[in-house]
């Protein structure tokens, strides 16, 4: 009987763990249904077979949540299987085996009823949300994902090393906007944060810049070093951005003409 109690306890803990993970994933910006599916997939080891898997593995907080779920899931499955085997191996006879089987079904049915009860569902959601916000630093929304609007554009953190091209420059001197890179914020080495920095903001060594732009261009900027080569790379990046703007303007003009055929007729 102790094995049966242990089995039901493990199943209860599994439901609680996946529920906490669901709420945590929801706090990072996933829809509740997606969060529930991803949490259960990770815990059971079923894998990710949906287009949402990329949104999960590319987000560091979600990735940590699912890694923990996978680890707990492996331990939980082993415990469930061993408890299930012990529950029926230790039965004295067919009658005892049947009674334990019925108790197991009744216990699982009760847990499912409680898990699907709307009042209990709302209560658990509030408690889990309060606890996660109180004792964790999970981001409320995946802003990097929201800003990854199309194609190769996205958000990237860039740590400024002393030998980098950006080090010891004013933001206006760097001219990053002319390269198509927007500085959303700067995390200083002393943990202070500069939001929406202006042109007079000084870029210091060991700062972390939060940048938005074309990811290949941001990656090149991250590897750019001070000196003549760095200045040349800056001019090339500006020229590339100007070319992209010209192509975009041509495309917009073409779209206007396609949407207004009367202009062509005149």
pLDDT at 19: 79
Q: Please give the residue range of the domain that contains residue 68.
A: 2-135
Shared domain for 152 and 121, answered yes or no, is: no
In a domain, 207, yes or no: yes
Spatial distance between the Cα atoms of 159 and 42, rounded to a whole number of angstroms: 32
Shared domain for 11 and 130, answered yes or no, is: yes
Helix (H), strand (E) at residue 236: helix 228-259
76 alpha-carbon distance from chain centroid: 25
What lies within 8 Å, CB to CB, of 214 at 6+ separation is: 152, 153, 180
What lies within 8 Å, CB to CB, of 94 at 6+ separation is: none
Shared domain for 186 and 110, answered yes or no, is: no
Query: Are 32 and 22 a contacting pair, CB within 8 Å?
Result: yes
In a domain, 167, yes or no: yes
User: 3-state class of 202 per DSSP?
Assistant: strand
pLDDT at 181: 94
Supply the CATH number for residue 162's domain: 3.30.70.1450
Shared domain for 7 and 98, answered yes or no, is: yes
Shared domain for 128 and 199, answered yes or no, is: no
In a domain, 140, yes or no: no
Nearest to 152 by CA among 209, 216, 212: 216
Shared domain for 175 and 101, answered yes or no, is: no
pLDDT at 231: 95
**Domain termination residue (choose one: 108, 135, 162):** 135
Spatial distance between the Cα atoms of 203 and 104, rounded to a whole number of angstroms: 64
Spatial distance between the Cα atoms of 142 and 162, rounded to a whole number of angstroms: 30
Shared domain for 154 and 49, answered yes or no, is: no
pLDDT at 4: 66
Cα separations (Å) of 75 from 1, 25, 37, 62, 112? 21, 21, 20, 20, 22
Spatial distance between the Cα atoms of 263 and 101, rounded to a whole number of angstroms: 78
pLDDT at 134: 72
**Domain termination residue (choose one: 111, 135, 159):** 135
**Domain termination residue (choose one: 104, 135, 166):** 135
Listed in sequence order, the DSSP H helices in 90-148 are: 94-116, 118-135, 143-147
Shared domain for 93 and 159, answered yes or no, is: no
In a domain, 225, yes or no: yes
pLDDT at 85: 67
A 10 A CB-CB count for 166 gives 25
The two beta strands, 193-195 and 169-170, are: unpaired
Spatial distance between the Cα atoms of 215 and 211, rounded to a whole number of angstroms: 9
Shared domain for 58 and 167, answered yes or no, is: no
In a domain, 50, yes or no: yes
Burial class (CB in 10 A: 0-12, 13-18, 19+), 251: exposed
Spatial distance between the Cα atoms of 138 and 153, rounded to a whole number of angstroms: 24
What lies within 8 Å, CB to CB, of 118 at 6+ separation is: none
DSSP bridge pairs for 157: 210
Shared domain for 9 and 110, answered yes or no, is: yes
In a domain, 266, yes or no: no
pLDDT at 34: 74
Shared domain for 183 and 252, answered yes or no, is: yes
pLDDT at 65: 80
Shared domain for 249 and 156, answered yes or no, is: yes
pLDDT at 263: 47
The counts of H helices and E strands in the chain are 11, 6
Q: How many domains does the chain have?
A: 2
In a domain, 141, yes or no: no
Q: pLDDT tens digits for the chain (266 residues)?
A: 666 677 677 778 777 888 788 877 777 766 667 778 888 888 777 665 555 566 666 666 777 788 888 877 777 666 766 666 666 676 666 777 677 778 778 877 887 777 677 777 777 777 776 776 676 665 544 555 555 555 578 788 889 999 999 999 999 999 999 999 999 999 998 989 999 899 999 999 999 999 998 888 988 999 999 999 999 999 999 999 999 999 989 888 888 887 766 544 55
In a domain, 110, yes or no: yes
First to last CA, the chain: 89
């Amino acid at each position: 009987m102790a094995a049966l109690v242990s089995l039901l306890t493990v199943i209860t803990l599994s439901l609680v763990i996946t529920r906490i993970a669901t709420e945590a994933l929801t706090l990072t910006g996933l829809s509740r249904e997606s969060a529930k599916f991803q949490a259960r997939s990770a815990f059971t080891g079923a894998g990710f077979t949906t287009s949402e898997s990329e949104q999960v593995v590319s987000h560091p907080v979600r990735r940590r949540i699912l890694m923990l779920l996978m680890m707990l899931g492996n331990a939980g499955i082993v415990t469930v299987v061993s408890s299930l085997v012990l529950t029926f191996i230790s039965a004295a006879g067919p009658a005892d085996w049947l009674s334990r089987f019925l108790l197991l079904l009744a216990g699982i049915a009760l847990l499912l009823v409680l898990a699907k009860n709307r009042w209990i569902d709302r209560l658990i959601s509030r408690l889990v949300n309060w606890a996660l916000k109180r004792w964790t630093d999970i981001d409320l929304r995946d802003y990097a994902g929201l800003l990854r609007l199309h194609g190769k554009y996205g958000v990237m953190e860039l740590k400024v090393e002393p030998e980098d091209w950006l080090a010891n420059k004013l933001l206006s001197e760097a001219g990053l906007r002319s390269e198509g890179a927007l500085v959303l914020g700067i995390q200083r080495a002393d943990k202070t944060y500069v939001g929406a920095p202006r042109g007079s903001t000084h870029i210091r060594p060991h700062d972390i810049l939060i940048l938005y732009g074309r990811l290949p261009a941001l990656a090149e900027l991250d590897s750019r070093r001070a000196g003549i080569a760095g200045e040349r790379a800056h001019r090339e990046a500006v020229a590339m951005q100007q070319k992209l703007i010209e192509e975009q303007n041509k495309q917009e003009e073409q779209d206007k003409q396609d949407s207004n055929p009367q202009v062509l007729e005149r």
